[in-house]
Amino acid sequence: MSKQFIFVVVLECMAIAILGSIAYAFHRPDLAPVLAATVVGLHFLPLAKIFRQGRYYFWETAITLWCVVCAILFRSNSLVAWSNIWTGALLWANSAHGLLRARGIVRSLVR
């Protein structure tokens, strides 16, 4: 694995832990999941450069924007539910898109 990738993952984990602790310190544990999801979205920014995947910029924007919208529109349990469900759906869509691209690449190599 690339040292850059490991650095991004370690930094992501540290940011999630720190932001989660801050949310709990302010007695707002409902903010911890949306902050963690925002960090997950933002981690696609350096990954796009490391893996040379331009599509990651789209996913970074979509996840981060969704988390900001959730933080503005929802409170408490709704905030946790909506941010987690749709962040998961966006991550799933990213994975499905990657698999479809890989399938196309493999098919083009076989011919």
Query: Two tokens at 108?
Result: 């083009």
For position 1, what pLDDT does the model report? 66
In the chain, domain spans:
3-110
Quote the pLDDT of residue 111: 72
Q: Of 40, 34, 31, 32, give the one whose Cα is nearest residue 13.
A: 40
Angle subtended by helix axes 3-25 and 31-42, to nearest 10: 160
Distance (Å, whole) CA 107 – CA 45: 29
pLDDT of 110 = 86
Could you report the per-residue pLDDT of 41-90, keeping only the tens digit for each? 999 999 999 999 999 999 999 999 999 999 999 999 999 999 999 999 99
Tokens found for residue 100: 């479809």
Q: pLDDT digit string (tens) for 1-55?
A: 689 999 999 999 999 999 999 999 999 999 999 999 999 999 999 999 999 999 9
